[in-house]
Each structure stands twice: as structure tokens, then as C-alpha cells.
């Protein structure tokens, strides 16, 4: 009965989404039905939550009479992965998508009480309209509760690559980011139809932009680290189409986050902000289509069904077509914002937006060019050489812009920039020259990346100078933390790219090999057994200087489904990671052992964590500040905020 209950709840939620859409249309025509719209949005979310819990239960008890469970689970699979398998497939992941869409709609209904009522009512209707398409997708094309008759004795199991803790956090984080952009899309549509594109809208949109950006950043970087240690290839970014599918909405969200700040603080960039809000969710939809359509070949694509891909393509065309039609009809009536000089904080943020948009366009072209070429009979592959070449210069320009942008004044720069900025530039120049003096072999982009990273690490601290640190607003701390994290990211990427050492050897027990000052002794190569796999495991002892550490890279064999995977092992030090993978071979002739020493790669993960932390500081700080303002003046209407950013 659990499957039937989950299915019924899904139908009821879909019916309420239809009601909510109708109430949104009534709001557009002038009816005061906001209270009812809010209630419907909340109940709808609760129904979808109930449906999702039902699916979790089906996986946890391994109900093999349900088709989805039989094809993606197994009775002997650890409970941890039974739980994660709920969204480790096409149907379950789409139900998670719909759940988040409904929950965000409910949160918008509960927390956006100070937004213009007409804008909010239409936005909730738009959110329900988006949800309806995905409800239809689940109910008519990808039912997660479909029964299997007769049921099977044993399940097929989960893809072994997905049997990793990364499956627990990576998809939900990404989906929160993707679906969070739907709220910004709905708010933009609602504001344009209500004729209320103003600073209050910017302040209402900013928490959603921050939330989406934080989760997208965490999801992308978490996924990058997962691929880094799980796939055994020693890299953290391959410019794979599915990786690009997550990067494109992140680029749009980053541009939108900065644009929304200008709208909220200065009432400028109105039309541009609306455009970015529409593009952000469009990129999310495009990513969903890419992963599920089978249009592209990727190690990450886990559902390749052209028919269901067409369904998503139709939904995307419908939503995007309607939204941009509204944009075309309404945006001309939105008055221009306050003017500003090119050399100002607004000017720097506009340049930031343009660079991010240019990178987005180049990634989009590179991702889809092979598909277009294939349609004309040509087989072309676009990989890292193209993406690195076209995006690196623009990314470095962005880093250079971060030096000075946050230190500029709003509207017009009327005084010289801080002397500290000049110190940061001097540090950057020193970092540019130093590799030449020490004879280090680096490409031009690697040297420039290292230089700008060092300079930006100092330049990002400039906004704190001259302030009482304990009284500095949280958004300033958030910005400084995030920009400092970007600086570490640049240093880590440049160092890892320039100074990585690699060693590939055929080894047997007792052998000893060296890489970048590390001595790695092969103590044993032996069989190992896990809960649902068997493996060949190398017992290594790695040492450099004093102390030694054990490493256990494996070649695992899964029986259900029959798959062999390479499980790497890493030793982490403050200045890098030693990375080991065990390849094919036998006891007589030896096994392939690949070792990498990746200097400063740790700064990539530390920088990423700081970027996310910066976003959290800003989001929480703004929330606390808004709560205090309401406590001091509960009668105040609308979004009120000092114009400091």
C-alpha cells in the first residue's frame, strides 16, 4: 500500500498545484486571494513530502514489487546506500526535484510576507505552473511508484560508482541550487506582470539568490571532489557536458547575485536583473535536459532516455518562451535605475556580470557544438583544450577586477583608491616574477593565475581596513571570506596544474618507488572483502621525512550489477595530497600502480569551503539584521535596509 499511497499523494499535490496556478491568475486579474494561495502552497508541499517519504520507505525495506526499487536496489546493499538510492536514479531524482520545487513554493508563501501582495500572488502562481509540468512528467512519463508484476526475487543493485557517501550530499545540494533559481524566475515573472520591479523586489530576491548560489557552489565543489577520489583519474574538473550543465547555472547565479545587490542597494540594473533571473532557471532546465536526454555522452549521465528528454525539452520551451515573451512585453515599462559613473562599484559589478555572461556563453557553445556538428554529419569533440583556452583569460580578468571592485564607491569614485590595493598589486607582480627567478617551469596562464591569486588574497582584505572589525556588518565579512576563498582557489589550481608529479609503475610486494620526495613501499597485494564487493588491495606505506602512513588503493569487483571500479587512496598534508590508484595486473607479473603528488591542491578544497562559508555568513547576517529591524519597528511595511552593502 505504500506505493499506492505515495502515488495518490502525488496526484493530490498535482491537483493543488493546478488550484494554486488558478489563484495566481486570479491575483493577476485583481482578486485578493493571497491568503488562500499561501495555504494551498503549504499543503501542496506537505503532500509531496509525504510522497517522497513513501518512496524512501520502499527503498529501505527493498520492496521488489516496485519497478524502481527492483532496478536500482538490492537486499544486500548497505542501508546507507538504500537510502541514497532513493534519488540515485531518474524517477527518484525527479521526485526530489518536485519536492524541492514545492518546498520552495511553501517557503516563499510563508516568509515573503512583506513583498508586494500582487507580485507575491502571481509569483506563487508561476511557481505552481512550473511544478505542474514536472508533476505531469512524473505521473505520465516517469512514475516512481510503478509496480512490477510479477515481482522479482532480487534487485539489480545500484551503480557501484554511486555507492559512495557523495551520493548522499551531492545531488540534494545541487538540486537545492537548481530549484532555488526557480523562485527567482517566479519572482521576476511576478514582478514584471505586477509592474513592481524595484529595490524592494531586489531585497526580496537577494536571500533566494544567495541560498541558490551557496548550494550550487557546495554541490559543484562537492561533486568535483567526489569525482576526484572516486573515478581514480586524479583530476577534479574534466569539462564534461554534465559538469558544464551544473557550471552554467552557477555562472548565471553568480552574475545574478551581484546584479540583485545593485538593484537592492541602488535601484539600478532593473532589466538586466530580470533577464539574469530568467536565464538562471533556464540553465537549470537545460542541465536537467542534458543529464536525462542521452543527447550527450558523459560518465555522469545516469538516465539516457530520449523520449523523456523530449518531455523536458518541451517543458523548457514552454516556460522559457512564456517568460521571455513577458519580458519582451513588460520590460520596456520598467523605468531606468539611478545613473552611475563607469568607475564606481556599480560599474565594477556590471563588468563582473559581463565577464561571467561571456564565460557562460562560451561554455554553452562548447558544450553544444558537438551536438550541432553531429546533426550536420561531422564528428567533433570539444574538451579541456578549448574550455581552458577560452575561459582562463576571462576568469583571470574577473580575478583582477576583484582586486579593486569592492573598494570603489557607489555611483562615482571621487577619491583615490586605498594604498593597500597598491600593496596587493605589488605582491601580485612579485608572485609573477618569482617563478622565473627560481627557474620553475610554468605556462603563462599558470604564472598569471598564481600571481593574481596571491594579489587577490591581500586585496580581498582591503574592505576590512579602517573598520572596527567587531562592528563590521556580516555581509562585508561574507564578501571578504568568499573573495579570499577565490584567491586560494586560484593559487591551488595554478600550483596543481604547474607542479604535479606523476609516477606509473608495475609493482609487486616488496617493491619501493619514489615520487616528489615521497618513498612508497609496497608491503602486500592481497584480496579484500566488503559488504557487497570483493577487491584486490595494495597495502602501501608512504613516507617523506619523519613518519609514515598506510595507503590502501583497491580494484573492486561488484556482482550486482557486475562492475569493476578503481578506489583511490589519498594522504593529505597542508601543502598537497599524495594520490594512489591500483590498476590491472596479476601476482606474477605485478599490478599497475599510479602515484601523483599534487602540491597545494588542498587550497582548491579549502578555498571552495571559504567561498561557501562567505555566502553563509552573508545570508545569516542579513537574516539576523532583518529580524532585528522588525523587532525594533514591527509596524514597518516593506523591505527596509540601509544602503551599505
Q: What is the 3-state secondary structure (H, E, C) of 385-415?
A: HHHHHHHHHHHHHHHHHHHHHHHCCCCCCCC
pLDDT, averaged across the chain: 89
Residue 336: its pLDDT value, please?
A: 66
Confidence of residue 323 (pLDDT cuts 50, 70, 90): very high
Q: How far apart are CA 578 and CA 562, in angstroms?
A: 30
Q: How far apart are CA 109 and CA 36, in angstroms?
A: 10
Residue 541: its pLDDT value, please?
A: 96
Confidence of residue 548 (pLDDT cuts 50, 70, 90): very high
Confidence of residue 643 (pLDDT cuts 50, 70, 90): very low
Residue 645: its pLDDT value, please?
A: 35
Q: φ and ψ at 569, to 5 degrees?
A: -135, 145
Residue 642: its pLDDT value, please?
A: 42
Q: Is the model's pLDDT at 529 over the cut of 80?
A: yes
Which of 227, 223, 243 has the alpha carbon at shortest distance from 235?
227
Residue 634: its pLDDT value, please?
A: 61
Provide the pairing of β-strand 501-507 with 518-529.
unpaired
Confidence of residue 570 (pLDDT cuts 50, 70, 90): very high
- How large a percentage of the chain has pLDDT more than 70? 95
Residue 290: its pLDDT value, please?
A: 80
Report which secondary-structure segment, H or E, holds 572.
Answer: strand 569-573
Confidence of residue 95 (pLDDT cuts 50, 70, 90): very high
Q: When comparing pLDDT for 173 and 645, which is higher?
A: 173
Q: Is the model's pLDDT at 559 over the cut of 90?
A: no
pTM of the model: 0.92
Confidence of residue 489 (pLDDT cuts 50, 70, 90): very high
In the predicted model, what is the mean pLDDT of residues 304-327?
A: 86
Cell of 508: 609487486
Report in angstroms the alpha-carbon separations of 355 from 209, 245, 247, 485: 19, 19, 15, 19
Which sign, positive or negative, has the C-alpha torsion 183, 619, 614, 353?
A: positive
Confidence of residue 635 (pLDDT cuts 50, 70, 90): low
Residue 626: its pLDDT value, please?
A: 81
In the predicted model, what is the mean pLDDT of residues 158-181?
A: 87
Confidence of residue 163 (pLDDT cuts 50, 70, 90): confident
Cell of 477: 565579512
Residue 151 is classified by DSSP as P
Residue 29 is classified by DSSP as T
Residue 305: its pLDDT value, please?
A: 66
Q: How far apart are CA 356 and CA 397, in angstroms?
A: 10
N-to-C CA span, the chain: 54
Which sign, positive or negative, has the C-alpha torsion 84, 90, 92, 96?
A: positive
The three-state secondary structure class of 490 is helix
Which of 214, 115, 103 has the alpha carbon at shortest distance from 621?
214
In the predicted model, what is the mean pLDDT of residues 557-583?
A: 90
Cell of 410: 557607489
Q: What angle do CA 622, 467, 352 make, to 5 degrees?
A: 60
Residue where the block lists cell 542597494: 265
170-216 residue pLDDT tens: 889 999 999 999 999 999 999 999 998 988 899 999 999 999 999 99
Q: Is the model's pLDDT at 598 over the cut of 90?
A: yes
Amino acid at each position: 500500500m505504500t506505493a499506492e499511497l505515495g502515488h495518490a499523494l502525488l496526484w493530490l499535490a498535482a491537483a493543488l498545484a493546478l488550484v494554486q496556478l488558478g489563484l495566481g491568475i486570479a491575483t493577476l486579474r485583481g482578486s485578493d486571494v493571497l491568503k488562500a494561495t499561501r495555504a494551498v502552497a503549504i499543503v501542496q508541499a506537505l503532500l509531496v513530502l509525504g510522497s517522497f517519504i513513501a518512496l524512501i520507505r520502499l527503498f529501505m525495506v527493498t520492496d521488489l514489487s516496485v519497478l524502481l526499487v527492483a532496478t536500482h536496489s538490492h537486499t544486500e546493499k548497505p542501508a546507507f546506500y538504500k537510502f541514497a538510492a532513493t534519488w540515485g536514479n531518474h524517477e527518484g531524482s525527479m521526485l526530489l526535484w518536485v519536492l524541492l520545487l514545492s518546498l520552495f513554493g511553501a517557503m516563499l508563501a510563508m516568509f515573503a510576507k512583506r513583498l508586494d501582495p500582487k507580485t507575491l500572488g502571481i509569483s506563487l502562481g508561476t511557481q505552481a505552473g512550473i511544478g505542474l509540468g514536472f508533476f505531469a512528467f512524473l505521473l505520465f512519463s516517469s512514475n516512481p511508484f510503478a509496480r512490477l508484476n510479477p515481482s522479482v526475487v532480487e534487485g539489480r543493485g545500484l551503480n557501484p560508482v554511486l555507492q559512495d557517501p557523495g551520493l548522499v550530499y551531492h545531488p540534494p545540494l545541487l538540486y537545492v541550487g537548481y530549484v532555488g533559481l526557480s523562485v527567482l524566475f517566479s519572482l521576476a515573472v511576478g514582478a514584471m506582470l505586477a509592474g513592481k520591479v524595484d529595490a524592494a523586489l531586489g531585497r526580496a530576491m537577494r536571500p533566494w539568490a544567495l541560498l541558490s548560489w551557496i548550494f550550487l557552489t557546495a554541490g559543484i565543489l562537492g561533486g568535483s571532489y567526489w569525482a576526484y577520489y572516486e573515478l581514480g583519474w586524479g583530476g577534479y574538473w574534466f569539462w564534461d557536458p554534465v559538469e558544464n550543465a551544473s557550471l552554467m547555472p552557477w555562472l548565471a547565479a553568480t552574475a545574478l547575485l551581484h546584479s540583485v545587490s545593485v538593484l537592492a542597494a541602488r535601484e539600478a540594473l532593473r532589466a538586466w536583473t530580470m533577464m539574469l533571473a530568467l536565464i538562471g532557471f533556464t540553465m537549470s532546465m537545460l542541465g536537467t535536459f542534458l543529464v536525462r536526454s542521452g543527447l550527450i555522452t558523459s560518465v555522469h549521465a545516469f538516465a539516457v532516455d530520449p523520449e523523456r528528454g523530449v518531455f523536458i525539452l518541451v517543458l523548457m520551451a514552454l516556460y522559457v518562451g512564456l517568460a521571455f515573451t513577458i519580458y519582451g512585453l513588460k520590460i520596456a515599462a520598467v523605468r531606468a535605475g539611478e545613473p552611475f559613473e563607469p568607475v564606481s562599484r556599480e560599474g565594477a559589478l556590471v563588468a563582473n556580470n559581463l565577464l561571467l555572461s561571456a564565460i557562460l556563453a562560451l561554455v554553452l557553445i562548447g558544450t553544444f557544438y558537438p551536438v550541432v556538428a553531429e546533426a550536420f554529419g561531422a564528428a567533433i569533440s570539444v574538451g579541456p583544450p578549448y574550455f581552458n583556452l577560452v575561459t582562463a583569460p576571462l576568469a583571470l580578468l574577473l580575478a583582477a577586477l576583484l582586486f579593486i571592485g569592492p573598494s570603489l564607491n557607489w555611483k562615482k569614485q571621487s577619491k583615490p583608491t586605498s594604498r593597500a590595493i597598491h600593496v596587493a598589486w605589488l605582491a601580485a607582480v612579485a608572485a609573477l616574477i618569482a617563478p622565473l627567478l627560481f627557474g620553475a617551469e610554468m605556462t603563462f596562464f599558470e604564472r598569471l593565475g598564481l600571481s593574481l591569486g596571491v594579489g587577490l588574497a591581500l586585496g580581498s582584505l582591503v574592505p576590512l581596513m579602517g573598520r572596527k572589525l567587531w562592528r563590521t556588518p556580516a555581509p562585508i565579512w561574507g564578501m571578504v571570506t568568499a573573495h579570499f576563498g577565490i584567491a586560494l582557489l586560484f593559487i591551488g589550481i595554478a600550483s596543481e596544474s604547474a607542479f604535479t608529479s606523476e609516477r606509473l609503475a608495475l609493482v609487486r610486494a616488496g617493491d619501493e618507488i619514489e615520487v616528489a620526495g615521497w618513498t612508497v613501499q609496497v608491503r602486500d597485494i592481497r584480496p579484500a572483502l566488503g559488504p557487497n564487493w570483493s577487491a584486490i588491495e595494495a597495502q602501501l606505506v608512504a613516507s617523506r621525512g619523519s613518519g609514515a602512513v598506510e595507503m590502501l588503493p583497491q580494484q573492486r569487483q561488484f556482482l550486482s550489477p557486475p562492475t569493476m571500479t578503481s578506489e583511490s587512496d589519498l594522504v593529505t598534508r597542508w601543502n598537497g595530497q599524495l594520490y594512489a590508484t591500483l590498476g590491472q595486473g596479476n601476482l606474477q607479473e605485478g599490478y599497475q600502480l599510479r602515484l601523483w603528488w599534487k602540491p597545494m591542491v588542498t587550497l582548491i578544497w579549502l578555498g571552495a569551503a571559504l567561498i561557501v562559508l562567505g555566502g553563509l555568513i552573508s545570508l545569516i547576517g542579513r537574516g539576523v539584521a532583518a529580524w532585528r529591524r522588525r523587532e525594533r519597528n514591527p509596524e514597518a511595511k516593506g523591505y527596509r535596509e540601509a544602503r551599505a552593502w
